[in-house]
Structure 1
Amino acid sequence: MPPTTNVEGRRLVLSNLEKVLYPDGTTKGELLHYYATCAPVLLPHLAGRPLSFLRYPDGAQGERFFAKNVPPGTPEWVTVADVPRSRRMGGRQVVIDDLPSLMWAANLVTELHVPQWRSDAPALADRLVLDLDPGPPATVAQCCAVARWLRERLAADGLRAWPKTSGGKGLHLMVALERTPSEEVGAYAKRLAARAERELPGLALHRMDRGLRRGKVFIDHSQNNAAKTTAAPYTVRAGHTPSVSAPVTWEEVAGAEEGEPLAFGVRELPARVERHGDLFAALLDPGHAHALPRPG
């Protein structure tokens, strides 16, 4: 029988804890331990947001599949929200708002992806995101240079940006907003990305054409679309290593621009959180949410 555990009064069945999920030997048990340890900083960034699953139950080198619908066998005590999918149809998605729900989801072996809006106000974004993706031979160092430029332009518009690693090769910049229609946020993000391409020729790119990306940093503004999602802060990624989409400081971004490493995994994050707390805590503070500037 798979082992069971009691999490805050909820009985969970945890399966295949010795199963190796990553080439470095990281097991499913270690993955679950990470989520349990970092739950205090992770849960506030999931609360109220419909969850999408990028599952990799056979390990990071196995099959992956993306799902938004409520998984079969979801416990009745896991929060589920009705969310719009199109003009004609809606859907139902899981909302992770407590530790038992988080551990249930982690047991499925999944990346945690969320939109920029909450389930009580679909398509009204309370965050803006810019996903900086380097096209080889560009690296995170070039992403950091573009991030610094974007930070300055956002600040000029009265907006404060917080950086985190993507958990892959790039960076995410996030901004707290007063609730704003996702279409308006996406349009602003696209204008900003287009300006970066004009003012950082040879370095930044806002167009989707993959043939243009070599040696440049693609600024993916499309994740502000109401139908899109982004890897949540502190989620583990299904890459070659168990890397985490980890909030970082602007000082660390500056160091990485000069060649210092900027990557964190499940083994480093608990101690890092113990030292620094949640470096994204201010993103959750309504006092840091501001209105987008008017076009023009």
Structure 2
Amino acid sequence: MSPITEVEGRRLALSNLDKVLYPSGFTKAEVLHYYATVADALLPHLHDRPLSLLRYPDGVAGEHFFAKNVPPGAPAWVKTADVPRSEEKTARQVLVDDLPTLMWVANLVTELHTPQWRASAPALADRLVFDLDPGAPADIVQCCAVAGWLRERLAEDGLTAYGKTSGSKGLHLYVPIGPPAPSREVTSYAKALAVEASRALPDLVLHRMTRSLRPGKVFVDFSQNAAAKTTAAPYTLRARDTPAVSAPVTWDEIGACDDPEQLAVRAPDMPERLAAHGDLLADLLDPGSGRPLPELRAD
């Protein structure tokens, strides 16, 4: 029988706490402890954003599946929202707005993914994202060089970029937008900048996903701005050999990166990073930090 614990007045059944989820030996109990430890920083980034769940029932080396609908057996107190999937269909998705819900979700899943818009304003993005994905032998070092170019280019349009590791191979850049803009417009703007980057840095950047062109270059993925797409949430664990974190990083760290391990942040590292830096993405949470999405430049 699963042990019962109480979190802020909510009773939770937590299962298989000794189960090893990562090849490095990280257990379910350690996953839960990690999410409880970073909750103060994580929860504001999940607030009002429908959650997509990347589930690994047998650990990160086993079978996995991506789910958007509310999992069966969800407690009645878990908040949910109807999210449009098409003109005719909606999905019922979880909203993680408090610690009990975060712990309930963490008992089921490894990774947390969210869209660039909120449930209260579907398909109106309050942020833009670039996913910088390196093709071997390129790695996060090359992603950092591309990130620097994008930061300067975005600044020309009055926009401010913030970085975090993907928790996998690459780097994510977030840009707050205010007022929120339709996802299709954000996608168009992001695509235009990705194309511009590929022209400015032709030996380093791709804006197309073509696999045969990927080796040694950084794919600037703008597609995660589409309303139906999601991105690994800040502070989420990722399914790697070790409990890697999609961790906010400073521009000094990005600028100084000359070895992939410099930006390899893992679960045990996060308490010290949070104590030293606080939430490096806190400005994303301030509605006043966003700037209007500029009109596309003519070629």
TM-score band, normalised by shorter chain: over 0.9
Q: How does 1:147-166 map to 2 (within 5 A)?
A: 147-166=147-166
Local SS of the residue matching 2:130? strand
In the aligned structure 2, how far is the partner of 1:294 from the partner of 1:21? Answer: 46
Please give the per-residue CA displacement for 1:103-146, whole angstroms capped at 9, x wherever unaligned. Answer: 00000023100000000110000010000000000011000000
SS in 2 for 1:278: coil
Q: Determine the structure 2 residue equivalent to 1:249.
A: 250
Q: What whole-Å deviation, never above 9, does each CA across 1:263-284 have from its counterpart, x for those lacking one?
A: 1111111221122111111111
SS for the counterpart of 1:122 is strand
Deviations 1:59-87 (A, max 9, x none): 11011100000100011100000110011
Alignment coverage as a number of residue pairs: 296
- Identity among equivalent pairs (%): 67
- 1:201-236 per-position Cα deviation (integer Å, ceiling 9, x unaligned): 110000121111110000000000000000000000
Partner residue, 1:27: 27
> CA separation of 1:250/1:77 partners in 2, compared to 1, >3 Å: closer, same or farther?
same
Alignment partners' CA distance in 2, 1:268 and 1:81: 33
| Offset at residue 91 of structure 1 (A) | 1.4
Aligned pairs for 1:144-223 (under 5 A) are 144-178=144-178, 179-223=180-224
Q: Which moved more, 1:275-284 or 1:42-51?
A: 275-284
Q: How many Å apart are 1:259 and its aligned residue?
A: 6.2
Aligned-partner Cα distance in 1 for 2:197–2:20:
42
- Using a 3 Å threshold, how does the CA distance of structure 1 residues 43 and 133 change in structure 2: closer, same or farther? same
Q: Structure 1 residues 17 and 260, CA, compared in 2 at 3 Å: closer, same or farther?
A: closer
Instruction: Supply the distance in 2 between the matched residues of 1:273 and 1:260 (Cα, whole angstroms).
Output: 19
Inter-partner Cα distance in structure 2 for 1:249 and 1:215: 25
Listed one character per residue, the Cα deviations across residues 15-57 of structure 1 (whole Å, up to 9, x for unaligned) are 1111111111101101100000100000000000000000012
Distance in 2 (alpha carbons) for counterparts of 1:112 and 1:73: 19
The alpha carbon displacement at 1:195 in A equals 0.4
For 1:24 and 1:70, how far apart are their aligned partners in 2?
Answer: 30
CA contact (8 A) 1:197 1:203 kept: yes
Task: Tell me, in whole angstroms, the C-alpha distance in 2 between the residues paired with 1:242 and 1:49.
Answer: 24
Q: Which residue number in structure 1 is paired with residue 284 of structure 2?
A: 283
Preserved contact between residue 83 and residue 122 of structure 2 (Cα < 8 Å)? yes
Determine the C-alpha separation between the residues in 2 that align with 1:251 and 1:172.
15
- 2:61 partner amino acid: Q
1:236 matched to 2:237:
yes
Higher deviation after alignment, 274-283 or 74-83: 274-283
Alpha-carbon separation, structure 2, partners of 1:259 and 1:194: 26
Give TM-score, length-normalised by structure 2. 0.97
2: CA distance, partners of 1:220 / 1:187: 12
User: 1:236 corresponds to which letter in structure 2?
Assistant: L
SS of the equivalent of 2:249 reads: coil
**Cα distance in structure 1, aligned partners of 2:54 and 2:27:** 18
Q: Are residues 1:50 and 2:38 paired?
A: no
Alpha-carbon distance in 1 for matches of 2:58, 2:283: 36
**Contact 1:256-1:262 at 8 Å conserved across structures:** yes
Question: Which amino acid is 1:281 matched to?
Answer: A
The TM-score normalised by the length of structure 1 is 0.98
Within 2, Cα distance between the matches of 1:133 and 1:240? Answer: 19
CA contact 1:34–1:270 (8 Å) conserved in 2: no
Question: In 2, are the aligned partners of 1:145 and 1:257 still within 8 Å (CA)?
Answer: no
Q: Secondary structure at the match of 1:81?
A: strand
